[in-house]
Amino acid sequence: MKNSFFSRFTPKEPKFFPLLKQLSEILAASSELLVESLKHDSPEERTGFYKRIKDMEREGDKLAHRILDELGTTFITPFDREDIHDLASSIDDVIDGINSCAKRIAIYNPHPISESGKELSRMIQQEAECIVKAMDELETFRKNPNTLRGYCSKMHDIENQADDVYEFFITRLFEEEKDCIELIKVKEIVYELEKTTDAAEHVGKILRSLIVKYA
């Protein structure tokens, strides 16, 4: 509101787009590492992947803060200030989620992760790829919102599937797993994976609201 009021009189500066794109690429890279990490089961390998993902999480954190700091000092942005803020924060939340997954795998050190866990990690990666592509639409979706809308729908569908995978898996886990400590480990890791697919869809929801507001 504030910005759209003033933006009638002042030029816009699009410098936030490349920063958001860069942030989404950190997300994509860390989701790829997460998928890869679930193929390895030794404590050493798990700790190794966690370390690499944690480094990326810190990099993402720095970049997100740089975006938020620049928002605090820049008067005009391409969208409302809050929209850029929400986008950067929500992408950072997905990176944080991936880091939490990798952390739990490393410090709980469960038996090999089930196929459902692997499937969830691939879903996170697919959502991350949607987000990377969506960042390319930010400059143009006002004229042609269909491509961006398509990515949002895709993320929504993936999230619904992730819900089903999660619910089916947990139902079976509680029926079948009799080792209580193993159950705790697996339940919490798979819960974090599902929550991360949610966090990714949340980026999609913010993008959808941009379409409603600006396109």
Is 51 near a copy of itself (CB under 8 A)? no
Only one of the segments 22-30, 119-127, 128-136, 176-184 lies at the binding site for a copy of itself (rule: CB under 8 A); that segment is 176-184
Give the 3-state secondary structure of 56-75: HHHHHHHHHHHHHHHHHHCC
* Closest by CA position to 11, among listed 78, 90, 71, 95: 78
Identity of the residue, 36 or 163, whose beta carbon is nearer to a copy of itself in the bound complex? 163
Phi then psi for 77, rounded to 5 degrees? -130, 165
Region from 17-25, 112-120, 140-148, 164-172 binding a copy of itself, contact rule CB under 8 A: 164-172
The half-sphere exposure of 106 on its side-chain side, counting CA atoms within 13 A, is: 19
Cα 47-125-52 angle, rounded to 5 deg = 25
Q: Answer yes or no whether residue 65 interacts with a copy of itself by CB under 8 A.
A: yes
| 155/185 with CB nearer a copy of itself | 185
State the Cα–Cα distance between residues 143 and 141, nearest whole angstrom.
Answer: 5
Closer CB to a copy of itself, residue 25 or residue 177?
A: 177
The amino acid occupying position 168 is: F
Candidate residues 18, 146, 167, 215; the one interacting with a copy of itself per rule CB under 8 A: 167
Residue choice 107, 112, 115, 140 for contact with a copy of itself (CB under 8 A):
107
Query: What is the rounded distance in angstroms from the CA atom of residue 98 to the CA atom of residue 189?
Result: 11
Of 34-42, 122-130, 148-156, 183-191, the window that binds a copy of itself (rule: CB under 8 A) is 183-191
CB 198 within 8 A of CB 82: no
Q: Is 164 in the site for a copy of itself (CB under 8 A)?
A: no
183: contact with a copy of itself by CB under 8 A? yes
3-state class (DSSP) for residue 14: coil
Tokens matching residue 140: 């143009």
Q: Which residues bind a copy of itself (CB under 8 A)?
A: 1-2, 65, 68-69, 72-73, 75, 81, 103, 106-109, 167, 170-171, 174-175, 177-178, 180-181, 183-185, 187, 205, 209, 212-213
